[in-house]
Structure 1
Amino acid sequence: MIEVINLSHTYPGAGRPAVKDISFTIPKGEIFGFLGPSGAGKSTVQNLLIKLLPLQKGEIKYNGKGLKDLGRDFFNRIGVSFEHPNLYLKLTGLENLKYFAGLFQGETEDPVKLLERVGLGEAKDKAAAEYSKGMKQRLVFARALLNKPEILFLDEPTSGLDPATAESIKEIIKERQRAGTTIFLTTHNMYLADDLCHKVAFLNNGEILALDIPRNLKMKYGNKSVKIEYRSNGHLQGELLFPENEKDRARIGELLASGQIETIHSQEATLEQIFIKLTGRGLV
């Protein structure tokens, strides 16, 4: 379990905190998502969690043990995939993974199999400098899995990937979660968060505005609607109606009674729509 209690952080010379008094808990084996636009404080929180930034104010605990009390073994238990790939560009993809595997104590994954799993098998002997942005992103993701981590920190893991490759990466993330890995995901991609996360936190200007499972957020902040398509005088027509509105409920009953309905779909607000509703700004 990861516990974050009243965490705040201010960069030197900054006019305001990058992270302001946030708290959350991540149970073992769950995927927790930080959803917010660039500059919201997502990466700052991740860097505090993995000890890349010094703890200024608040507490971070892993299974009840304070972050300051964790020794070097902590880094053998975590895997990190950064948004901006940091690689040894003169080394091949395979050489990169072999080098990093040598830094860990304990058993590591077969680097060749990892590269094949993320679609880089044929490029394993190519210098990382020759990789495209998406290939570099996949290599960094594979590197995060090398040491069979108990906790994965993923910062925009599908950024720059084509839809098919992004789906493959998402499936690997789900597999790791099912195997018991705890995953901390930072993203501005609401579809990714909705698909993967057990809970999400909306982060804006360093503060958590809402935190819950995606469905609860949609039920609480979204407007439930029904899209109905029906035939009228031989023409297909459609209406978007809101059951909470008395007039719309009557219209739904009228259409049902007509027997002309061809399709009817319930709709819910997306996480992005809810974020805009709460903040007045988008996720980009």
Structure 2
Amino acid sequence: MGAEITAEGLVMTYGDVRAVDGVSFTVASGEFFGLLGPNGAGKTTTLEMVEGLRRPQSGSVRIDDHIPSKREPELQRRMGVQLQASSFFERLTAREQLDTFGALYGVAAGRTDEMLEQVGLVDKADDRTEDLSGGQKQRLSIACALIHDPDVVFLDEPTAALDPQARRNLWDVLRSINDSGRTVILTTHYMDEAEALCDRVAIMDAGRILELDTPAALVRGLDAPVRISVAPGTLDADEARAMAGSDDVADEESGLTITTRDPARILTELAHRDALDGLSVKGASLEDVFLDLTGREYRA
């Protein structure tokens, strides 16, 4: 179960656009690895080269001892792929779709019921796929990728179009996939998703990897201030500004927000003033790292 993935110097160009520009990374067997980046960063193209759907113009990919672009049947049976855009056989129900995908791999029929349960589509089993919502189609696409119990799973924005409850439920499915020893590579625009699921993440932009590490290490490396919010009427703004360690104070209707790089000192002082009721502390997140590296301008 699981597979080791090695990508070295991957390059892919489209005309004058260098979509992937010398990307290298390794994924350990059983690791949950994330590829993050704004629109057009090269995530999907990189993933397609690792999956073997595109042959790199230069560079190489290996999954264990196999080259994905050679389309070796032995390797293909070990891979599960969920593409960014779902495509299903016309006029088939959700159950029939899974039965068909399973039959391609010689999977026993009972596996279909198991997958419908796992992705929460039991009540939609007999609905045609064209009648499913966007989120339901996304979950069915993931079930099709997992029907043959692969060793390595590629997920391209798997929770796009899902509501918050469905996203969190699907996180449990993805964790269980990884916990069983499978290697998982994920692309996503949701930083909280990457932070919650991934062992390591690579942040890409303009076809290159800008940073690669664990989410926690990337957040620590940002050296961002902490924002401490207190409830209205708890503390006077001038008192807050005079506190040792206070860098900035925002006085709003919802309460005071103290920005600091010495949160321990501020929290100790607030405790002495009996001002901890309704307090909240917000440090840096992976989203802050992402914006710091890729900028805040709009990407079409």
What TM-score do the two structures reach when normalised by structure 2?
0.84
Tell me what 1:71 maps to.
72
Tell me what 1:225 maps to.
226
Alignment coverage as a number of residue pairs = 278
3-state SS, counterpart of residue 262 of structure 1? coil
Structure 1: segments with no counterpart, 5+ residues: none
- 1:3-45, Cα deviation, whole Å (9 max, x unpaired): 111111113xx21211010111111111100111222111111
Partner Cα distance (2:298, 2:31) in 1: 23
Partner Cα distance (2:31, 2:109) in 1: 23
Tell me what 1:123 maps to.
124
1:94–1:124 Cα contact (<8 Å) kept: yes
Partner Cα distance (1:205, 1:6) in 2: 15
Tell me what 2:258 maps to.
240
2:225–2:261 Cα contact (<8 Å) kept: yes
Tell me what 1:5 maps to.
8
Kindly state the Cα deviation for residue 262 of structure 1 after the two structures are TM-superposed.
Answer: 2.8
Kindly state the Cα deviation for residue 97 of structure 1 after the two structures are TM-superposed.
Answer: 1.0
Partner Cα distance (1:206, 1:168) in 2: 32
Please say if 1:212 is aligned against 2:227.
no
Kindly state the Cα deviation for residue 98 of structure 1 after the two structures are TM-superposed.
Answer: 1.0
Kindly state the Cα deviation for residue 267 of structure 1 after the two structures are TM-superposed.
Answer: 2.6
- 1:166-208, Cα deviation, whole Å (9 max, x unpaired): 1111101101111001000011111111110000111111111
User: What is the alpha-carbon root mean square deviation over aligned residues?
Assistant: 2.5
3-state SS, counterpart of residue 84 of structure 2? coil
2:219–2:289 Cα contact (<8 Å) kept: yes
Kindly state the Cα deviation for residue 220 of structure 1 after the two structures are TM-superposed.
Answer: 0.4
Kindly state the Cα deviation for residue 209 of structure 1 after the two structures are TM-superposed.
Answer: 0.7
Please say if 1:271 is aligned against 2:286.
yes
Tell me what 1:97 maps to.
98
3-state SS, counterpart of residue 127 of structure 2? coil
Match for 1:43: what amino acid? T
Partner Cα distance (2:52, 2:261) in 1: 49
Tell me what 2:22 maps to.
21
What TM-score do the two structures reach when normalised by structure 1?
0.89
3-state SS, counterpart of residue 110 of structure 1? helix
3-state SS, counterpart of residue 9 of structure 1? strand
- 1:194-251, Cα deviation, whole Å (9 max, x unpaired): 1100001111111111111001110101414141527247x9953323125xxx8876
Please say if 1:190 is aligned against 2:208.
no
Partner Cα distance (2:167, 2:254) in 1: 36
2:49–2:69 Cα contact (<8 Å) kept: no
1:18–1:40 Cα contact (<8 Å) kept: yes
3-state SS, counterpart of residue 100 of structure 1? helix
Tell me what 2:31 maps to.
30
1:31–1:177 Cα contact (<8 Å) kept: yes
Structure 2: segments with no counterpart, 5+ residues: 237-252
Tell me what 1:153 maps to.
154
Please say if 1:281 is aligned against 2:296.
yes
3-state SS, counterpart of residue 17 of structure 2? coil
- 1:124-164, Cα deviation, whole Å (9 max, x unpaired): 11111111111111110100110100000001111111122
Partner Cα distance (1:207, 1:174) in 2: 28
Partner Cα distance (1:251, 1:165) in 2: 38
- 1:69-101, Cα deviation, whole Å (9 max, x unpaired): 662211100101112111113111111111111
Further displaced range: 81-90 or 68-77 = 68-77
Match for 2:292: what amino acid? K
